[in-house]
Amino acid sequence: MPACDSNPEATYKAVILLGGPAKGTRFRPLSLDQPVPLMSIGGYPLIFHHVEACAAVPGMREIILIGYYPKDQLSQFVDECQRKFGIRMRYLQEFTPLGTAGGLYHFRDQIMLGDPAAFFVMNSDVCCDFSLADMLAKHRPGTYTVMCTEATRSQSVQYGCAVIRKGTDEIMHYVEKPATFVSTMINCGVYILSPSIFQYLKSAVKVHKDAHFTFDLSSQCNECVQMEQEVFQPLASRNCLFAYVTTRFWSQVKTAGAAIYANRHMLELYRTSHPDRLATAQSIPDGPKIIGNVYIHPTATVSPTAVLGPNVSVERFVTIGNGARVRESILLQGAVVRDHACVLFAVLGSSATIGEWTRVEGTPTDPNPNKPFAKIETKDLFNEKGQLNPSCTVIGSHVSVAPETIVRNSIVLRAQRVGSQLQKPNYPVILQIVLATYKLWCQFSLT
Ligand code: GTP
């Protein structure tokens, strides 16, 4: 069967599924300040990398963001991307969470406007080396292509699992988060769908509506449809669902620990894709000492005696003082690291301040390097005993950490003061009168 790219006239669209405020709970408190899809990875919002990859696909006409965040939280990002990539972009807001397929069906007329040959669908909570042009070259017109990658046996059950026929790459069987082992091939959350997919989405919505009017009067909207369970599962083995297997970098980004892991890989990808985005001694003369891959926004102020890297992203208006050390961390807008402070495996929220000689440190949650195909663990923040699982440290926005303090494996909520702050003691009035009298008495008795 000819591949899509055989028609140079063909046009495409892309849809990025953002979710909404109810999602991203494992990203708190950072997700309380901004939508998770705008979390900074490699110095740019997470979905900026999706948009950049889509904009590079020949024939791409429009990128549509679908989610249930309020419009004003996305409008600046959409405007900036349109300007940067010169491509049409829109944010379409769902009236209620419609699941991973309901939004596509609800906005089908908008997606099909202009008659694209096929459209990409991407989960916003993944970060990868998108090889979209290659994926498109292997896509068969009229079918549906799912990007898959290999995981370990034990981790695979946390993802959508596909049994793939060798030779044709047809998906013979698909199960979302199976109870027992099915396959080590997992769904990466990136698809190319032919327009005929809407007939299956229509059937799935109809099943919901019928159920709603007969016995199931649950509060969930009857247009809420899940792509993985309700569309891919029944489509498997019908000679229309195919896998595109990637061996490049891919990770889910559902926790701050995963963001640090994704940040490291994104900075490494810049080495070949965008070397100009990496800080070097040449690009910042009289700048700090740089070790490995580091991104520094031009508006950041970094002391020449600070040491940064490897794998550090410094966002706009960040200040880093003399002798400070930052490693494997993300410093969000306006964060301040004062002189001689040390930040390791941490995310500093916007306008957070780390005092002099303070140490903020987390535990890396990297995949086991001895297990081939291991992915990052997206464990819950707390274990079954209610204790915090050791992970990277997250300092919420507007937090102030006192000088000479150690913060380790912690999540600090927004606008808190951590450690003893140097301030005047606030004595009760009666004690202040006694102290003032004592001082006077001392003065008079001395003269
Ligand atoms: P969890 O482990 O529970 O997070 O499940 P998952 O990994 O299967 O992810 P999920 O299916 O919840 O989400 C996959 C992607 O779809 C993410 O990028 C979400 O933001 C997005 N998504 C999920 N639900 C909705 C929805 O109702 N509307 C929209 N527009 N996007 C959604």
Higher pLDDT, 312 or 6: 312
Query: Which CATH number characterizes residue 213's domain?
Result: 3.90.550.10
Give the distance (Å) from ligand 1 centre to CA of residue 125: 8
Q: Are residues 305 and 376 in the same domain?
A: yes
Residue nearest to atom 8 of ligand 1 (CA): 159
* Statement: residue 447 has pLDDT above 50: no
Tell the residue number behind the tokens 């696909």, with chain if given. 57
Residues in contact with ligand 1 (CB, 6 Å cut-off): 17-19, 23, 66-68, 94, 97-100, 103, 123-125, 254
Tell the residue number behind the tokens 């013979």, with chain if given. 172
pLDDT at 220: 64
DSSP notation for 346-396: EEEPTT-EE-TT-EEE-------TTSTT-------SB-TTSPBPP--EEE-
Q: Are residues 238 and 296 in the same domain?
A: no
Give the distance (Å) from ligand 1 centre to CA of residue 280: 38
- Total number of domains in the chain: 2
Contact status, residue 41 vs residue 313, Cβ threshold 8 Å: yes
Q: 29: cis peptide before it, omega within 30°?
A: yes
Domain-located, residue 258: no
Contact status, residue 65 vs residue 78, Cβ threshold 8 Å: yes
Whole-number Å distance between alpha carbons of 375 and 113: 38
Domain-located, residue 264: no
Domain-located, residue 259: no
pLDDT at 349: 97
Higher pLDDT, 111 or 283: 111
Domain-located, residue 261: no
pLDDT at 372: 79
The residue among 139, 189, 136, 137 whose CA lies nearest residue 162 is: 189
Pick from 108, 122, 123, 223 the residue to mutate for probing ligand 1's pocket: most ligand atoms within 8 Å of its CB: 123
Q: What average pLDDT does this structure show over 150-167?
A: 95
Residue nearest to atom 20 of ligand 1 (CA): 19
Q: Are residues 212 and 293 in the same domain?
A: no
H or E element that contains 172: strand 171-176
Q: Are residues 68 and 190 in the same domain?
A: yes
Counting from 1 in the atom list of ligand 1, the atom nearest the Cα of 103 is: 30
Domain-located, residue 211: yes
Task: Please give the C-alpha separations between residue 261 and each of 40, 102, 118, 356, 378, in angstroms, as whole numbers.
Answer: 12, 31, 32, 27, 12
Query: Which CATH number characterizes residue 414's domain?
Result: 2.160.10.10
Residue nearest to atom 3 of ligand 1 (CA): 23
pLDDT in tens, 203-253: 999 888 777 655 555 556 778 999 999 999 999 989 999 999 999 999 999
Q: Are residues 54 and 141 in the same domain?
A: yes
Contact status, residue 394 vs residue 409, Cβ threshold 8 Å: no
Q: Are residues 168 and 25 in the same domain?
A: yes
Residue nearest to atom 15 of ligand 1 (CA): 123
Contact status, residue 322 vs residue 310, Cβ threshold 8 Å: no
Q: Are residues 52 and 147 in the same domain?
A: yes
Q: Are residues 240 and 146 in the same domain?
A: yes
> Taking the model in full, what pTM does it have?
0.90
* Domain around 115: 12-252
Give the distance (Å) from ligand 1 centre to CA of residue 422: 45
Q: Are residues 327 and 414 in the same domain?
A: yes
Q: What average pLDDT does this structure show over 345-359?
A: 97
Q: Are residues 27 and 92 in the same domain?
A: yes
Give the distance (Å) from ligand 1 centre to CA of residue 37: 11
* Statement: residue 1 has pLDDT above 50: no
Residue nearest to atom 10 of ligand 1 (CA): 100
Q: Are residues 235 and 296 in the same domain?
A: no
